[in-house]
Amino acid sequence: MKTCLVVDDSSVIRKVARRILEGLDFEITEAEDGKQAMDRVASKMPDAILLDWNMPNMDGYEFLLKLRQMAGGDRPKVVFCTTENDISHIAKAMDSGADEYVMKPFDKEILCSKFGEVGLV
Protein backbone atom coordinates (compact mmCIF):
# COMPACT_ATOMS: atom_id res chain seq x y z
CA MET A 1 0.00 0.00 0.00
CA LYS A 2 1.24 3.53 -0.83
CA THR A 3 1.97 5.72 2.15
CA CYS A 4 1.31 9.43 2.59
CA LEU A 5 2.32 11.77 5.39
CA VAL A 6 -0.22 14.54 5.89
CA VAL A 7 1.39 17.61 7.47
CA ASP A 8 -0.97 20.37 8.61
CA ASP A 9 -1.52 22.21 11.86
CA SER A 10 -5.28 22.01 11.37
CA SER A 11 -6.78 18.78 12.66
CA VAL A 12 -9.81 19.38 10.44
CA ILE A 13 -7.67 19.55 7.28
CA ARG A 14 -5.75 16.44 8.35
CA LYS A 15 -9.00 14.60 8.92
CA VAL A 16 -10.46 15.62 5.53
CA ALA A 17 -7.22 14.81 3.71
CA ARG A 18 -6.96 11.46 5.49
CA ARG A 19 -10.48 10.52 4.47
CA ILE A 20 -9.89 11.44 0.82
CA LEU A 21 -6.45 9.84 0.56
CA GLU A 22 -7.53 6.64 2.30
CA GLY A 23 -10.20 6.44 -0.39
CA LEU A 24 -7.37 6.57 -2.92
CA ASP A 25 -5.67 3.59 -1.21
CA PHE A 26 -3.07 5.48 0.77
CA GLU A 27 -1.97 4.50 4.27
CA ILE A 28 -1.83 7.77 6.20
CA THR A 29 0.41 9.11 8.94
CA GLU A 30 0.00 12.64 10.30
CA ALA A 31 2.15 15.46 11.60
CA GLU A 32 1.09 18.81 13.08
CA ASP A 33 4.10 20.83 11.93
CA GLY A 34 7.38 20.61 10.05
CA LYS A 35 9.35 19.54 13.10
CA GLN A 36 7.06 16.61 13.80
CA ALA A 37 7.12 15.77 10.08
CA MET A 38 10.95 15.59 10.22
CA ASP A 39 10.65 12.95 12.98
CA ARG A 40 8.15 10.98 10.88
CA VAL A 41 10.29 10.93 7.72
CA ALA A 42 13.41 10.10 9.76
CA SER A 43 11.76 6.92 10.99
CA LYS A 44 10.07 6.03 7.70
CA MET A 45 10.15 7.80 4.35
CA PRO A 46 6.62 7.86 2.84
CA ASP A 47 5.75 7.67 -0.87
CA ALA A 48 4.03 11.05 -0.73
CA ILE A 49 3.74 14.08 1.53
CA LEU A 50 0.78 16.46 1.53
CA LEU A 51 2.33 19.59 2.99
CA ASP A 52 0.87 22.76 4.45
CA TRP A 53 2.96 25.94 4.22
CA ASN A 54 2.22 28.00 7.33
CA MET A 55 2.72 25.99 10.50
CA PRO A 56 4.26 26.64 13.93
CA ASN A 57 7.73 25.35 14.87
CA MET A 58 8.83 24.63 11.31
CA ASP A 59 6.89 25.74 8.23
CA GLY A 60 6.32 23.59 5.15
CA TYR A 61 8.89 25.40 3.01
CA GLU A 62 11.69 24.89 5.53
CA PHE A 63 10.64 21.25 5.93
CA LEU A 64 10.79 20.74 2.15
CA LEU A 65 14.32 22.15 1.93
CA LYS A 66 15.51 19.93 4.79
CA LEU A 67 13.71 16.88 3.38
CA ARG A 68 15.33 17.19 -0.03
CA GLN A 69 18.78 17.25 1.65
CA MET A 70 18.15 14.06 3.65
CA ALA A 71 19.24 10.64 2.51
CA GLY A 72 16.26 9.24 0.57
CA GLY A 73 14.55 12.61 0.86
CA ASP A 74 14.37 12.96 -2.90
CA ARG A 75 12.00 9.98 -3.12
CA PRO A 76 8.67 11.19 -1.69
CA LYS A 77 6.40 13.11 -4.01
CA VAL A 78 5.64 16.37 -2.23
CA VAL A 79 2.30 18.03 -2.88
CA PHE A 80 2.01 21.43 -1.23
CA CYS A 81 -1.47 22.13 0.09
CA THR A 82 -1.87 25.68 1.29
CA THR A 83 -3.87 28.89 1.33
CA GLU A 84 -0.83 30.65 -0.17
CA ASN A 85 -2.17 30.88 -3.71
CA ASP A 86 -0.14 33.62 -5.37
CA ILE A 87 2.25 32.85 -8.20
CA SER A 88 5.36 33.73 -6.22
CA HIS A 89 4.62 31.12 -3.53
CA ILE A 90 3.74 28.48 -6.10
CA ALA A 91 6.90 29.16 -8.12
CA LYS A 92 9.04 29.17 -4.96
CA ALA A 93 7.64 25.79 -3.88
CA MET A 94 8.07 24.18 -7.31
CA ASP A 95 11.60 25.58 -7.70
CA SER A 96 12.51 24.17 -4.30
CA GLY A 97 11.52 20.60 -5.03
CA ALA A 98 7.74 20.35 -4.65
CA ASP A 99 6.15 18.06 -7.24
CA GLU A 100 2.67 19.55 -7.24
CA TYR A 101 0.73 22.35 -5.59
CA VAL A 102 -2.82 22.40 -4.24
CA MET A 103 -4.51 25.68 -3.38
CA LYS A 104 -6.95 25.39 -0.48
CA PRO A 105 -9.84 24.82 -0.37
CA PHE A 106 -9.55 21.44 -2.06
CA ASP A 107 -11.83 18.50 -2.67
CA LYS A 108 -11.42 14.86 -3.60
CA GLU A 109 -11.32 15.62 -7.31
CA ILE A 110 -8.46 18.09 -6.95
CA LEU A 111 -6.39 15.84 -4.68
CA CYS A 112 -7.02 12.93 -7.05
CA SER A 113 -5.92 15.07 -10.01
CA LYS A 114 -2.75 16.27 -8.28
CA PHE A 115 -1.74 12.85 -6.99
CA GLY A 116 -2.40 11.60 -10.52
CA GLU A 117 0.01 14.22 -11.83
CA VAL A 118 2.78 12.83 -9.63
CA GLY A 119 1.98 9.29 -10.74
CA LEU A 120 0.54 7.97 -7.48
CA VAL A 121 -3.14 7.61 -8.50
Partner 1 sequence: MSAPVILRVIDFINKAAGIVLTTEKAYFVEARLSPVLREEGLPSIDELMTRAERGDRRLAQRVIDALTTNETFFFRDKTPFEHFRNVIIPELLARRPAGKTLRIWCAACSSGQEPYSLVMVLDELKAQLAGRPVEIHASDISEAILSKAKSGIFNQFEVQRGLPTKMLLQYFQKVGDNWQISPEVVKRVNFFKFNLLEEPKTMGTFDVIFCRNVLIYFDRPTRAKIFDRLADRLAPDGFLLLGGAESTFGVTDRFTSHPKERMLHVPLMRRADPAARTAIA
Q: 103 burial class (0-12, 13-18, 19+ CB within 10 angstroms)?
A: middle
Residue 35 C-beta: closest distance to partner 1, Å: 26
Within positions 17 to 76, which residues make up the interface with partner 1, using CB under 8 A?
Answer: none
SS3 114: helix
Residues in a beta bridge with 23: none
In angstroms, the Cα distances linking 114 to 6, 14, 21 are 14, 17, 12
Report how many residues bind partner 1 under the rule CB under 8 A.
18
Residue 87 C-beta: closest distance to partner 1, Å: 6
User: Between 79 and 118, how does the x/- string for binding to partner 1 read (CB under 8 A)?
Assistant: ------xxx--xx--x-----xxxx--xx-xx--xx-xx-
Interacting residues with partner 1 (CB under 8 A): 85-87, 90-91, 94, 100-103, 106-107, 109-110, 113-114, 116-117
